[in-house]
């Protein structure tokens, strides 16, 4: 092994590397989380959990497009009460981000209370799911409502709280206000509302008609948002969106991300393939004379 | 992975709630054990492992259990549906050795397709089908026509041998180099236990609720193992199952 260090810190929590399993990817079952941890991720994000279990939408829940993927899973999840069971197969040293979703301030407060477990490291508020009414983009478009949720969670929990941002025109203003309320960091970004029509049947593919676009198509948008948030606030950022190879990873970190979320990369690939990203990042750092991944953070801003 | 059209050539009633849907379609090489997602717009999308695919003609052997399969049973000749695939990992079939193909219910679908391939390769095989009674017999004649040995096991003894097909495995396993199995969960668990005990090379195909079919949603996890039926399976070698802590 080389002497390059991939270790990072997120709000005081040490991660063995900057790769984080993004919310919604094979993360709603104890054995899946355990396998993902063994695969080498630095931290795991759970599926967005709501106070009550949710069934989600009927298949098709996924559509493939030229530049990315659409999903309308419908926030299916086993409910936040299942958290102790969900995390039961993870070793002590594992790092866990619990994603919480809901449609009222109380839903989020409840989620935060239930996430107050020893093996939970960070709470991520999913305020930006694009395909479930009243549970996502409806929230983040309404800054004062978002701030009420943030208030409730920050006052309920001692854990660092991160906000998962979606694409809005006003996100920088939300970031600034959220920081004033005690938010510790941001996960950038969620999927973007989109639609795909099948050319064989000439029908919308997703049972929900609309879905969230992820993958290569959104990567440059996510890089822009990471870059802007870092430029203004230099806070911990998890860059998520279209990480398909090491170049996307390097871009996010150079733009200012401390860590990088891996999601659509896992379509049709076993979770162990994250090793390729880890090794490729290591090689990039080595080849370019970085002893430490942290030194790469934000270099795109240097004059 | 986009959809391709599939035209209904025939929809043959086999018995009670079981049908063969014959489709004309063009998808990539689909092997025994692979599955496809069948999409009926405005209804739903469901996984099925074809019981034969050759020269652009696909046979799906299905049982009506709910909304989508109910809709499928009412499809008429000339109608169109949409499919994507092949998905998952198929059975690994060699050109040598002796094979035992053992299954129950509509689970025998990918096994009879395997029998076709083995027969073409001149490989010896025995096909054992387990059903509740003689009315449910499905592919015995087809297996014999392919040059294999074929045995029917009925729960009530109305035809063939009375009992479960696992009885055959218990007494005859020594004759076989490879076991291919597919059936209801309870059957799969029994086959797993026996094949572990006898140290056999065995591949089992599993069913779980498949939603995305591409390894991201987690819906099809084989409980306790972290294995995904849609991506790592549906066909698993029992050594993989063991390695991932499958404990029936
Ligand atoms: C890899 C694989 C191959 C399969 N091959 C065949 C086959 O060759 N022939 C056949 O008859 N059946 C097969 N099945 C089972 C078949 O997919 C279900 O019977 C079917 O989805 C039921 O749909 P429904 O809407 O009629 O039933 P409902 O009960 O109304 O279904 C409701 C929901 O549950 C899902 N579901 C219900 N039962 C199952 C099940 N056993 N497996 C997966 N999803 C299920 C459906 O997709 C649907 O989303 C296979 C399943 C898998 C996973
Ligand atoms: C199938 C699927 C399910 C998802 N579920 C969630 C979820 O429950 N909560 C959430 O915050 N984001 C969810 N997302 C969004 C991802 O976490 C991520 O933000 C997005 O996919 C962009 O990253 P990517 O391009 O690497 O996939 C989901 C995405 C997909 C494709
Ligand atoms: S069905 Fe989604 S992971 Fe297998």
Q: Could you say which of B19, B54, B87 is where a domain stops? A: B87
Residue A1 clears pLDDT 70, i.e. is over it:
no
A267 interaction partners in chain B (CB closer than 8 Å): 214-216
Going by the DSSP 8-state scheme, the letter that residue A203 receives in this structure is S
Residues B196-206: tens digit of each pLDDT: 999 999 999 99
Separation between Cα atoms, residue A208 and residue A290, nearest integer Å: 46
Please give the mean pLDDT across all residues of chain B: 96
Residues B101-151: tens digit of each pLDDT: 999 988 899 999 999 999 999 999 999 999 999 999 999 999 999 999 999
* pLDDT, average across residues A176-195: 97
A195 is catalytic: no
> Does B21 share its domain with B55?
yes
Give a three-class secondary structure readout of B178-226: EEEEECCHHHHHHHHHHHHHHCCEEEEECCCCCCCCCCCCCCCEECCCC
B216 interaction partners in chain A (CB closer than 8 Å): 24-26, 62, 71, 263-264, 266-267
B6 CB-near residues (< 8 Å, 6+ apart):
B23, B24, B25, B38, B58, B80, B81, B82, B83
What is the Cα B188 distance to its own chain's centre? Answer: 12
Q: Give the per-residue pLDDT at B66.
A: 95
* pLDDT, average across residues A217-237: 98
Q: Give the per-residue pLDDT at B67.
A: 94
Residue B5 clears pLDDT 90, i.e. is over it:
yes
> Does B179 share its domain with B122?
yes
Contact B218 A61 (CB under 8 A): no
Q: Give the per-residue pLDDT at B43.
A: 92
What region does A34 belong to: left with phi over 0, alpha with psi -120 to 50, or beta?
Answer: alpha
Give the whole-number percent of chain A exceeding pLDDT 70. 99
Total domains, chain B: 2
Residue B207 clears pLDDT 90, i.e. is over it:
yes
Note whether residue B92 is domain-resident.
no
Q: Give the per-residue pLDDT at B218.
A: 96
Residue A15 clears pLDDT 70, i.e. is over it:
yes
Q: Are B183 and B130 a contacting pair, CB within 8 Å? A: yes
More confident residue, B142 or A302: B142
Q: Give the per-residue pLDDT at A3.
A: 83
Going by the DSSP 8-state scheme, the letter that residue A58 receives in this structure is P
| Residue-wise burial string across A82-114, b where 16 or more C-beta atoms lie within 10 A, e elsewhere | bbeebbebbeeebbbbbbbbbbeeebbbbbbeb
Residue A136 clears pLDDT 90, i.e. is over it:
no
* pLDDT, average across residues A251-276: 98
Contact B226 A207 (CB under 8 A): no
Q: Could you say which of B22, B53, B87 is where a domain stops? A: B87
If you search the block for the tokens 């993870």, which residue do you land on?
A: A90
Note whether residue B162 is domain-resident.
yes
Residue A24 clears pLDDT 90, i.e. is over it:
yes
Banded model confidence at residue A130, pLDDT cuts 50, 70, 90 = confident
Q: Please tell me the pTM assigned to this model.
A: 0.96
Q: Are A61 and A74 a contacting pair, CB within 8 Å? A: yes
Q: CATH code at B69?
A: 2.40.30.10
Q: Give the per-residue pLDDT at A137.
A: 78
Q: CATH code at B134?
A: 3.40.50.80
Decide if domain A8-53+74-191+215-301 falls under CATH 3.30.1490.20.
no
* pLDDT, average across residues B48-60: 97
Separation between Cα atoms, residue A293 and residue B131, nearest integer Å: 60
- Domain boundaries along the sequence of chain A: 8-53+74-191+215-301
Q: Which ipTM score applies to this complex?
A: 0.94
Give the whole-number percent of chain B exceeding pLDDT 70. 100
Separation between Cα atoms, residue B52 and residue B59, nearest integer Å: 5
Residue A2 clears pLDDT 70, i.e. is over it:
no
Out of A2-6, B17-21, B68-72, least confident range: A2-6
Residue A86 near chain B (CB below 8 Å): no
Q: Which domain holds residue B144?
A: 98-243
Catalytic residue among A70, A129, A179, A274: A129
Q: Give the per-residue pLDDT at A132.
A: 77
Residues B141-168: tens digit of each pLDDT: 999 999 999 999 999 999 999 999 999 9
* pLDDT, average across residues B28-43: 94
Q: Could you say which of B51, B67, B87 is where a domain stops? A: B87
Q: Give the per-residue pLDDT at A133.
A: 75
Ligand 1 pocket test, pick from B66, B72, B108, B113 with the greatest ligand atom count within 8 Å of Cβ, gives B66
Separation between Cα atoms, residue B248 and residue B246, nearest integer Å: 6
Smallest Cα distance from B199 to chain A, Å: 26
Separation between Cα atoms, residue B103 and residue B115, nearest integer Å: 12
> Does B190 share its domain with B216?
yes
Q: Is the peptide bond before B235 cis (omega within 30 degrees of 0)?
A: no
Q: Which ligand is nearest to the CA of B208?
A: 1
């Amino acid at each position: 092994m080389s002497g390059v260090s991939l270790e990072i810190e997120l709000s005081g929590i040490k991660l063995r590397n900057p790769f984080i399993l993004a919310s919604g990817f094979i993360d709603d079952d104890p054995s899946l989380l355990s396998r993902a941890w063994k695969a080498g991720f630095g931290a795991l994000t759970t599926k967005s959990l709501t106070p009550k279990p949710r069934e989600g939408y009927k298949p098709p829940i996924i559509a493939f497009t030229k530049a990315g993927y659409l999903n309308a899973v419908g926030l299916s999840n086993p409910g936040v009460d299942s958290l102790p069971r969900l995390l039961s197969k993870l070793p002590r040293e594992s790092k866990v981000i619990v994603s919480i979703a809901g449609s009222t301030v109380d839903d989020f407060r409840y989620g935060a209370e239930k996430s107050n477990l020893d093996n939970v490291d960070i709470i991520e508020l999913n305020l930006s799911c694009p395909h479930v009414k009243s549970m996502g983009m409806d929230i983040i478009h309404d800054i004062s409502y978002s701030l009420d949720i943030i208030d409730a969670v920050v006052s309920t929990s001692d854990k660092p709280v991160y906000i998962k941002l979606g694409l809005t025109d006003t996100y920088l203003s939300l970031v600034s206000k959220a920081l004033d309320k005690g938010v510790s960091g941001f996960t950038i970004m969620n999927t973007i509302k989109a639609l795909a029509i099948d050319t064989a049947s000439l029908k919308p593919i997703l049972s929900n008609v609309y879905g969230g676009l992820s993958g290569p198509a959104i990567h440059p948008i996510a890089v822009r948002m990471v870059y802007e948030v870092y430029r203004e606030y230099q806070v911990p950022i998890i860059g998520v969106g279209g990480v398909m190879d090491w170049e996307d990873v390097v871009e996010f970190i150079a733009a200012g991300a401390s860590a990088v979320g891996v999601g659509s990369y896992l379509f049709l690939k076993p979770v162990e393939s994250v090793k390729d990203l880890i090794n490729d990042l290591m090689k990039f750092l080595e080849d370019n004379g970085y002893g430490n991944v942290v030194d790469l953070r934000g270099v795109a801003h240097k004059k | 992975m986009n959809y391709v059209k599939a035209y209904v050539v025939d929809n043959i009633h086999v018995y009670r709630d079981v049908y063969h849907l014959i489709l004309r379609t063009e998808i990539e090489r689909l092997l025994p054990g692979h599955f496809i997602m069948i999409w009926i717009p405005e209804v739903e999308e469901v996984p099925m492992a074809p019981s034969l695919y050759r020269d652009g003609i696909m046979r799906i052997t299905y049982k009506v259990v709910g909304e989508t399969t109910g809709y499928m049973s009412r499809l008429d000749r000339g109608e169109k549906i949409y499919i994507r695939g092949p998905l998952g990992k198929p059975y690994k079939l060699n050109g040598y050795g002796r094979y035992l193909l053992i299954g129950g219910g509509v689970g025998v679908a990918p096994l009879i397709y395997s029998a076709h391939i083995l027969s073409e390769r001149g490989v010896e095989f025995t096909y054992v089908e387990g059903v509740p009674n003689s009315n449910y017999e499905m592919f015995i004649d087809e297996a014999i026509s392919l040059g294999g040995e074929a045995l029917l096991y009925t729960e009530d003894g109305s035809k063939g041998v009375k009992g479960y097909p696992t009885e055959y495995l218990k007494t005859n396993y020594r004759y076989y180099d490879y076991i291919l199995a597919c059936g209801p969960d309870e059957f799969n668990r029994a086959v797993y236990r026996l094949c572990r005990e006898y140290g056999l090379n065995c591949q089992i195909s599993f069913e779980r609720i498949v939603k995305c079919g591409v390894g991201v949603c987690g819906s099809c996890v084989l409980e306790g193992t972290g294995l995904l039926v849609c991506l790592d399976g549906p066909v698993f070698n029992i050594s993989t199952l063991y390695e991932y802590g499958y404990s029936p």
